[in-house]
């Protein structure tokens, strides 16, 4: 049997990794400024993480949500501490799409309403509700098309007001649009959105799957604006590569037995991986490092003649280039051995590196970028 070919693959197979570095099957080394879609938060094969996950695997890897799993409770307490979202409830799943799926479903249950407002260029995942609020017709199958999703423009509150009605259960927005090209909702816009949702009895769901977990210098990107969400979704960096997703839920939303569920979500091994990730983040002040290294990188790239627009915060960086970004990215990978990401629609190289990055790796990138854009 062959694999179902839905991904455009590089002819590179990664065999091992450590920190910021990947090694392929030929022994070539690469600098990882992409973290496998922003998943590697504390660095590849981080020592304490490997120890904790291995120890857990030797105790118990999995049991279902039919029994108490104290590791979930421990994780909820730690996430509360690190995120500042006091009293919120935690529901654990397996991926980002599933987190958004449950966030949207929960909003609909709670409000007894059936519509949702989403934003142009948004990406929220590929399962049915998540893809319905993703602005990419090419990845929506006919079964995903719905008139329950209303579209608005980022940073344009009038466009939200124009579609808001009494059947809108929620507005869903990314902390920073990632796939859409590292586009930031302004503080004013988020505040206006919060007000509008409150006035209309709709929930505000903030998708921090890519922008969250310390990446921008705050635990969640939207915390730069001081606005609070009713539900926050997260995944990617949460367990440094172990598939874990989650939503944090305002305590005003009551849980009812059976309203949400999952077989794998919140399993022992996933919780151990997530706990180890948070511990390493806290111990090493990686959120602070993201802010400092982001500022350092922005300082180095500001005014670069090959850059048309530089967007982002902390270690979520969009470099819109004058020349073809895809070509620059290929040169960075094949000539300079540096992995980066891409937002095709806006000719943008996307950097979402592990949060343990240092000035040394940033200098190496800047030097390589200079070279390939000469
Ligand atoms: C903002 C955002 N939301 C949701 C998702 C979907 O996450 P997953 O691929 O884990 O389902 C992604 C993935 O790129 C994302 O960037």
Cβ atoms of residues 266 and 69 within 8 Å: yes
Q: For all residues of the chain together, what is the average pLDDT?
A: 97
Residue 192's pLDDT is 98
Q: Give, for ligand 1, the residue of 210, 245, 262 to mutate: max count of ligand atoms closer than 8 Å to Cβ.
A: 210
Judge contact between 315 and 358, C-beta under 8 A.
Answer: no
Proportion of the chain in helix, strand, coil states, percent, rounded to 5: 40, 20, 40
pTM above 0.85, yes or no: yes
319 exposure class (CB count in 10 Å sphere: 0-12, 13-18, 19+): buried
Nearest CA to ligand 1 atom 10: 96
Q: Would you state the pLDDT for residue 345?
A: 87
Q: Are 189 and 195 in contact (CB under 8 A)?
A: no
User: pLDDT value at position 159?
Assistant: 98
Q: Does the CB atom of residue 209 touch ligand 1 within 6 A?
A: yes
Q: Are 114 and 167 in contact (CB under 8 A)?
A: yes
For residue 344, what pLDDT is reported? 81
Do 202 and 152 form a contact (C-beta atoms < 8 A)? no
Answer yes or no: is the C-beta of 124 below 6 A from any ligand 1 atom: yes
Ligand 1: centre distance to CA 325 (Å): 22
Element (H, E) at 50: helix 47-59
Q: Is 37 close to ligand 1, i.e. is its CB under 6 Å away?
A: yes
Residues of the chain with pLDDT under 50: none
Query: How many Cα neighbours within 13 Å face the side chain of 273?
Result: 29
For a mutational test of ligand 1's pocket, the pick from 39, 209, 220, i.e. the residue with the most ligand atoms closer than 8 A to its C-beta, is 209
Query: How do beta strands 168-174 and 115-119 pair?
Result: parallel
- The predicted structure's pLDDT at residue 146: 96
Which atom belonging to ligand 1 lies closest to the Cα atom of 98?
A: 11
Which ligand 1 atom sits nearest the alpha carbon of residue 100? 4
Which residues 6+ apart lie within 8 Å of 358 measured at CB?
Answer: 293
CA distances from 357 to 34, 121, 155, 330 (A): 11, 29, 31, 22
Return the pLDDT at 17. Answer: 98
| Share above pLDDT 90 across residues of the chain, in percent, rounded to a whole number | 99
Distance from the alpha carbon of residue 203 to the mean position of ligand 1, in angstroms: 20
């Amino acid at each position: 049997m062959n694999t179902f070919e839905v991904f455009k693959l590089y002819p590179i197979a990664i065999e091992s990794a450590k920190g910021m570095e990947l090694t392929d099957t030929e022994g070539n080394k690469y600098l990882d400024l992409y973290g496998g879609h922003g998943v590697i938060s504390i660095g590849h094969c981080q020592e304490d993480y490997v120890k904790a996950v291995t120890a857990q695997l030797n105790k118990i890897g999995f049991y279902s949500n039919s029994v108490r799993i104290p590791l979930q409770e421990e994780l909820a307490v730690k996430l509360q501490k690190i995120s500042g979202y006091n009293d919120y409830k935690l529901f654990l799943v397996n991926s980002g799409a599933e987190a958004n799926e449950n966030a949207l479903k929960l909003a609909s249950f709670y409000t007894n309403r059936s519509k949702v407002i989403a934003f142009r260029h948004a990406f929220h995942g590929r399962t049915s509700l998540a893809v319905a609020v993703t602005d990419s017709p090419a990845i929506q199958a006919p079964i995903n098309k719905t008139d329950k999703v209303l579209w608005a423009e980022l940073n344009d509150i009038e466009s939200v007001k124009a579609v808001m009605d009494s059947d809108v259960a929620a507005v869903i927005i990314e902390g920073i649009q990632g796939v859409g090209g590292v586009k930031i909702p302004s503080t004013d816009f988020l505040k206006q959105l919060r007000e509008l949702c409150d006035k209309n009895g709709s929930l505000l769901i903030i998708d921090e799957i890519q922008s969250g977990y310390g990446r921008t210098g705050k635990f969640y990107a939207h915390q730069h604006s001081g606005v609070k969400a009713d539900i926050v979704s997260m995944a990617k960096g949460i367990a440094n590569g172990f598939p874990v997703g989650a939503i944090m839920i305002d305590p005003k939303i009551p849980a009812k037995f059976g309203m949400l569920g999952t077989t794998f979500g919140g399993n022992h091994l996933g919780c151990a991986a997530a706990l180890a990730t948070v511990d390493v983040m806290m111990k090493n002040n990686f959120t602070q490092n993201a802010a400092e290294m982001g500022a350092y990188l922005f300082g180095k790239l500001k005014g670069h003649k090959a850059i048309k627009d530089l967007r982002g915060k902390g270690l979520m960086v969009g470099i819109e280039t004058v020349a073809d970004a895809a070509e620059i990215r290929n040169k960075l990978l094949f000539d300079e051995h540096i992995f980066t990401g891409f937002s095709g629609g806006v000719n943008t190289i996307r950097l979402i590196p592990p949060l343990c990055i240092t000035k040394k790796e940033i200098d190496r990138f800047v030097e390589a970028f200079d070279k390939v854009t000469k």
